[in-house]
Amino acid sequence: MTESQTRLRVSLTSPPLPADSSRALPVPRDAGMPVPACLQRPALSPMPDTGRAMEGPGEELAGDGAELWAGGLHNSNNNASPGGWLSPHSGHPFAPFGARAPGTEPSYVERVVLEIVESERTYVRDLRSIVEGYLGKIIDAEKPLLRPEQVSALFGNIEDIYELSSNLLQNLDSCDNDPVAVAVCFVTRSQEFDIYTQYCNNYPNSVAALTECMRNKQQAKFFRECQEQMRHALPLGAYLLKPVQRILKYHLLLQEIAKHFEHKTGDDYEVVVEAIDTMTCVAWYINDMKRKHEHAIRQQVRNGGTPGSPQGALGVGHLTHPSLGAL
């Protein structure tokens, strides 16, 4: 590894910096980025270690998810053990929802669970394409293509998110299509999802850094070549937005499980509700950061300044979900 590559890797461990301080608006941050109170609750007992390496991502699913529920999904990577999961409350195995008579159609809840698992698989594949197809090539280049501060601003903590989602996918694959086991996956990892606040806080800087790179002919050519090599229909910017979109979708998917859960009382249902509360809290906190960022932009414009990040970086609509209302 060359000296420049070493410096670049070290720089990625530091907090992201604005790509261009003359244009990038500093993102509002609370001191030390505290974890929201609702993410500080004690987690359930640790997840069982499956002892398996994650399989390669499957084929990309078409549509935005809603159509997949209606059409029915089939889990092509069901590695669950037949014994099911041990309930953290009752100590007995969860019923294996994935086991059903041949020829019978999956229930609505089963289709939602399959959507969670398969869309996570597609998401992990997309994250891997960012980390290996773009970031890895930048780091391994003999001659530096980007300045270290550009790389840090552009990709933020995407590697941490890739690691979290890869581990989450392993856990989801072990759930045997059981909605309660799926809910446990989110509850036990509740405090780990706070890394998304760092990514979303940095996202305006990421947009500004990418905009700057695309004005450079050599850098723009590099990104286009990476896109062509991976046969991506969408450019890097669309992939860098995916973590922002994904973290705001988890609670909506879990809500669909709760709406159609057979028994809306008891320990199993409480686990599902706790998972919804956990991921809604994360979404609320990110929306709160969005409001602060937009407020800072308005203040800067009011004071005669120019908003640094391009319009739409964290603009209205990107971080808004109907179920959260006007937070």
Our measurement of the distance from residue 61's CA atom to the centroid of its chain's CA atoms, rounded to an integer in Å, reads: 17
Higher pLDDT, 10 or 73: 10
Give the separation between CA 130 and CA 137, rounded to whole angstroms.
Answer: 10
* Among the ranges given (103-107, 185-189, 289-293), the one the predictor scored with the smallest mean pLDDT: 289-293
All domains of the chain in start order, with CATH: 3-24+35-41+105-324 (1.20.900.10)
308 in Cβ contact with 18 (< 8 Å)? yes
pLDDT band for position 150 (cuts 50, 70, 90): very high
Residue spans of alpha helices (H) in the chain: 3-11, 66-71, 108-130, 136-140, 148-155, 158-173, 179-188, 195-214, 217-229, 236-240, 242-247, 250-259, 267-302
pLDDT of residue 230: 96
Average pLDDT over residues 284-296: 80
pLDDT band for position 288 (cuts 50, 70, 90): confident
Give the separation between CA 47 and CA 303, rounded to whole angstroms.
Answer: 51
The mean pLDDT of the chain is 73
Q: Is the pLDDT of residue 205 over 80?
A: yes
* Among the ranges given (67-81, 114-128, 247-261), the one the predictor scored with the smallest mean pLDDT: 67-81
pLDDT of residue 40: 52
85-100: b (≥16 Cβ within 10 Å) or e: bebbeeeebbebbbee
pLDDT band for position 10 (cuts 50, 70, 90): very low
Average pLDDT over residues 289-306: 74
Residue 86, beta-bridge partner list: 93
pLDDT band for position 80 (cuts 50, 70, 90): very low
Q: Is the pLDDT of residue 92 over 90?
A: no
* Interval 207-245: pLDDT, tens: 999 999 999 999 999 999 999 999 999 999 999 999 999
pLDDT of residue 234: 95
288-312: b (≥16 Cβ within 10 Å) or e: bbbebbbebbeeeeeeeeebbbeee
Q: Is the pLDDT of residue 250 over 50?
A: yes
pLDDT band for position 105 (cuts 50, 70, 90): confident
Q: Is the pLDDT of residue 189 over 80?
A: yes
Give the separation between CA 187 and CA 147, rounded to whole angstroms.
Answer: 39
Give pTM, 2 decimals: 0.66
